[in-house]
Amino acid sequence: MNTQNETVGQNIRLFRERLALSQTALADYLGVSHAMISHYETGNRPVSTDHLQKLADLFGIDAYGLFETDGAQQQANLAFAFRADTMNAEDLTSIAAFRRIVNNYLKMKKQLSHVS
């Protein structure tokens, strides 16, 4: 049975590979060392809350999606991932901010539809 750290690490690796990002590119985006990304992906270190949110924003998912163990849900989340292999940390930051805005908009729209 996987620990929570291992589950999160496996999901980070799946998304990173789906986006065609190197561990170094992801490390630059988070402002950590390449070794830290390796520790995250192997489950040897817990991912900080701030990093979980930054990763979720980049991957276009809710932070809870990084804890997902259901294979079908993981595949659905991965289906929306895009390749980012030629982007730098600044590009990734902009993409994450845009995705966060879109996700917040969609959540607000859903809430407002329940009020009407």
Residue 32: predicted pLDDT = 97
Q: Which amino acid is at 59?
A: F
> Containing domain of residue 47, as a range?
4-115
Selection from 5, 3, 92 nearest residue 56 by Cα: 92
Residues 4-48 have pLDDT tens digits of 999 999 999 988 998 888 999 999 999 999 999 999 999 999 999
Tell me what pLDDT residue 72 has: 57
User: What is the tally of structural domains in the chain?
Assistant: 1
**CATH assignment of the domain containing 86:** 1.10.260.40
pLDDT (0 to 100) of residue 16? 92
User: Do 40 and 47 touch, CB atoms closer than 8 A?
Assistant: yes
d(CA 28, CA 101): 22
| Mean model confidence pLDDT for the chain | 82
- 3-state per-residue secondary structure call for 18-80: HCCCCHHHHHHHHCCCHHHHHHHHHCCCCCCHHHHHHHHHHHCCCHHHHHCCCHHHHHHHHHC
